[in-house]
Amino acid sequence: METLTLLIDQFLIKFYRLTGQTGVDFVIGTLVLATIALLVGKASVFVALQFTRKQFQKKAAEAEKYHLLSLEALQEGDQEAYNAANKLANEAFGHSFFQQAALSAAFLWPVCFALAWMQHRFLDVAIPVPGTGLSLGFIGVFIILYVIVYFLGKRIVRLRGLSSKEAAPALDSPQNLAEPLLVAPPSLTHLSDKK
Amino acid sequence: MRNRTWCTIFVLAALVAVSTLVLTGVADAGKLEDAIAQTPQGTEKGMINPDAPKGFMGIPGGPSPFWFYGILWGIWVGWIFSTVGAFGGIMAGVGHISVFGLGDYAATFRKTSPSLNALLTDSIRTSNQYLVGLSALMSSITYYRMGRLVLPLGAALALGGIAGAYLIPVLTAGKISLKAYVGYFGIIVLIIGCFLFYDTTPAGQEKKKKAKAAANAFQEAVKKGSGDVAAQGVRVKSWGLTKIEFSFFGVEFSFNPIWPLVGGFVIAAISAFIGVGGGFLYVPFLTSVTSLPMYVVAGTSALAVFISMITSIFTFMFVKGTPIDFLFVGAELIGIAIGSVVGPYTSKYIPDIWLKRLFVILALYVGLKYTLRGFFGINI
Instruction: Count Cα atoms within 13 angstroms, Cβ side, for B236.
Output: 13
In a domain, B104, yes or no: yes
Domain coverage including residue B186: 66-207+233-376
Task: Report the alpha-carbon distance of residue B158 to residue A184 in Å, rounded.
Answer: 22
Q: Beta partners for A127? A: A136
Say whether B326 and A112 touch across the interface (CB within 8 A): yes
Please tell me which of the candidates A74, A89, A139 has its beta carbon nearest to residue B22: A139
Can you tell me whether residue B146 is helix, strand or coil? helix
Contacts of B308 (CB under 8 A, 6+ apart): B158, B161, B162, B164, B165, B264, B267, B268, B271, B272, B278
Q: What is the pLDDT of residue B223?
A: 52
Return the HEC string of chain A: CHHHHHHHHHHHHHCCCCCCCHHHHHHHHHHHHHHHHHHHHHHHHHHHHHHHHHHHHHHHHHHHHHHHHHHHHHHHCCHHHHHHHHHHHHHHHHHHHHHHHHHCHHHHHHHHHHHHHHHHHHCCCCEEECCCCEEECHHHHHHHHHHHHHHHHHHHHHHCCCCCCCCCCCCCCHHHHHCCCCCCCHHHHHHHHCC
Q: Between residues A36 and B66, which one has the greater pLDDT? A: A36
In a domain, B306, yes or no: yes
In a domain, B26, yes or no: no
Instruction: Count Cα atoms within 13 angstroms, Cβ side, for B10.
Output: 27
Q: What is the pLDDT of residue B63?
A: 82
* Chain B contact present for A106, CB below 8 A: yes
State the pLDDT confidence band at A184, using cuts at 50, 70 and 90. Answer: very low
**Structural domain count, chain B:** 1
In a domain, B46, yes or no: no
Q: What is the pLDDT of residue A31?
A: 94
**Structural domain count, chain A:** 1
In a domain, B106, yes or no: yes
* Chain B contact present for A175, CB below 8 A: no
ipTM associated with this complex: 0.76
CA geometry: angle B2, A191, A152, nearest 5 deg: 50
Q: What is the pLDDT of residue B135?
A: 61
Report how many Cβ contacts below 8 Å link chain A to chain B.
261
**pLDDT surpassing 90 at residue A33:** yes
Written as tens digits, the pLDDT of chain B (380 aa) is 455 555 555 555 555 455 544 444 444 456 777 888 888 888 888 888 888 888 877 788 888 777 788 899 999 988 888 777 667 777 888 888 888 888 888 888 888 888 888 888 888 877 877 776 666 666 666 655 555 567 777 778 888 888 888 888 888 877 778 888 888 888 888 888 887 788 788 887 777 777 677 777 766 766 554 444 444 566 778 878 788 887 766 667 778 888 888 888 888 888 878 776 676 677 777 777 666 666 667 667 767 777 777 777 777 776 666 778 888 888 988 998 898 888 877 877 777 778 778 888 888 888 898 899 888 888 77
Amino acid (one-letter) located at A149: V
Q: How far is B378 from chain A (nearest CA, A)?
A: 34
Can you tell me whether residue B60 is helix, strand or coil? strand
By CB neighbour count within 10 A (0-12 exposed, 13-18 middle, 19+ buried), where does B256 fall? middle
In a domain, B13, yes or no: no
CA-based nearest residue in chain A for residue B141: A180
Phi-psi region of B21 (alpha: psi -120 to 50; beta: other; left: phi over 0): alpha
* Chain B contact present for A46, CB below 8 A: no
Contacts of A18 (CB under 8 A, 6+ apart): A25, A28, A29
What is the number of other CB atoms lying within 10 angstroms of the CB of residue A6? 10
State the pLDDT confidence band at A16, using cuts at 50, 70 and 90. Answer: very high
Q: What is the pLDDT of residue A180?
A: 45
Amino acid (one-letter) located at B72: L
Please tell me which of the candidates A44, A69, A137 has its beta carbon nearest to residue B215: A69
In a domain, B31, yes or no: no
Task: Report the alpha-carbon distance of residue B60 to residue B165 in Å, rounded.
Answer: 32
Say whether B341 and A52 touch across the interface (CB within 8 A): yes
Say whether B231 and A194 touch across the interface (CB within 8 A): yes
In a domain, B10, yes or no: no
Q: How far is A154 from chain B (nearest CA, A)?
A: 15
* Chain B contact present for A15, CB below 8 A: no
Q: What is the pLDDT of residue B23?
A: 46
Q: What is the pLDDT of residue B136?
A: 62
Q: Between residues B258 and A177, which one has the greater pLDDT? A: B258
Amino acid (one-letter) located at B286: L
Domain coverage including residue A39: 2-193
Say whether B277 and A101 touch across the interface (CB within 8 A): yes
CA-based nearest residue in chain B for residue A84: B211
